[in-house]
């Protein structure tokens, strides 16, 4: 269990799957995704960058979310936090502690541009 000040919520959005040309791929059809609210989180800013390569102006925005141990999250899920939709970057990181502060860390990324 995280400390009492971890009082924010996120929404985990997981795609269904479909077969396209013999490969299983994510299906983000809004009627098929599975959403779940996860409470007891802490949402913190992580990184931001501006891309100006002459072709496109874009912003990369990163957040770190600490959610309770046992939260149903996995690589490939999307996370809605503070009204923005992010992708989980890499695998969720499980932090174990000998007492009551075990949790899962999510590194999130969003691209706009």
* Domains of the chain, CATH where assigned: 8-112 (2.40.10)
Is residue 104 very low, low, confident or very high in pLDDT (cuts 50, 70, 90)? Answer: very high
Question: In the prediction, which pLDDT does 33 show?
Answer: 96
pLDDT over 80 (residue 36): yes
Question: In the prediction, which pLDDT does 44 show?
Answer: 93
Q: How far is CA 80 from CA 6, 21, 36, 112, in A?
A: 17, 30, 10, 15
Is residue 102 very low, low, confident or very high in pLDDT (cuts 50, 70, 90)? Answer: confident
pLDDT over 90 (residue 81): yes
The CA distance from 40 to 1, in Å, is 8
Half-sphere exposure of residue 103: CA atoms within 13 angstroms, side-chain side = 18
Is residue 17 very low, low, confident or very high in pLDDT (cuts 50, 70, 90)? Answer: very high
Question: In the prediction, which pLDDT does 47 show?
Answer: 86
């Amino acid at each position: 269990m995280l400390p009492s000040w971890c009082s924010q919520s996120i929404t985990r959005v997981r795609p269904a799957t479909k077969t396209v040309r013999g490969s299983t791929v994510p299906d983000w059809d809004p009627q098929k995704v599975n959403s779940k609210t996860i409470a007891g989180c802490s949402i913190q800013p992580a990184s931001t960058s501006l891309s100006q390569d002459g072709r496109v102006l874009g912003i990369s925005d990163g957040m770190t979310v600490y959610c309770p141990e046992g939260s149903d999250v996995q690589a490939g899920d999307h996370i809605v936090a503070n009204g923005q939709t992010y992708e989980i970057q890499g695998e969720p990181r499980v932090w174990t502690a000998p007492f009551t502060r075990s949790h899962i860390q999510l590194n999130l990324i969003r691209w706009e541009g």
